[in-house]
Amino acid sequence: MTLTVLDRSNYLKGLLVLAKQDKVLQATEKNYIRDIARRIGFGEDFYEESLRGLMVNKYISEEPIVFSSREIAEAFISDGLTLALIDSKMDIKEKLWLEKIAAANNIPSETMDNLFDEKNSSQTKH
């Protein structure tokens, strides 16, 4: 999967917006975001500054993100579900925001449901 510069930016921004939905940013969430930010090519200074200011930044748009391909959107939703479930519970705001992303990227609700079931069952096994 090849990410454009815009996809990379949106991917990180989307994870940050998702993490902010439940108004709590736990260490496990930060670490997960750091790992993905590194994998998609962001420098440590950039993502650390983004994490530091996240909860007080009122200017991060929460409009649903449209990615350049369905494959990237599905990967984002999968990572987003992992992030949302990292604290063993998904806030309804997190779920609704991910559903908006799915709708904006023409991902059928059945696909979203399957991804959720897959992530939820793997979380309960750990």
> What are 63-114's pLDDT values in tens digits?
999 999 999 999 999 999 999 999 888 899 999 999 999 999 999 999 988 9
Residue 45 makes CB contacts below 8 A (sequence gap 6+) with: none
pLDDT at 58: 80
Task: Domains for the chain: give ranges and CATH numbers.
Answer: 5-125 (1.10.3680)
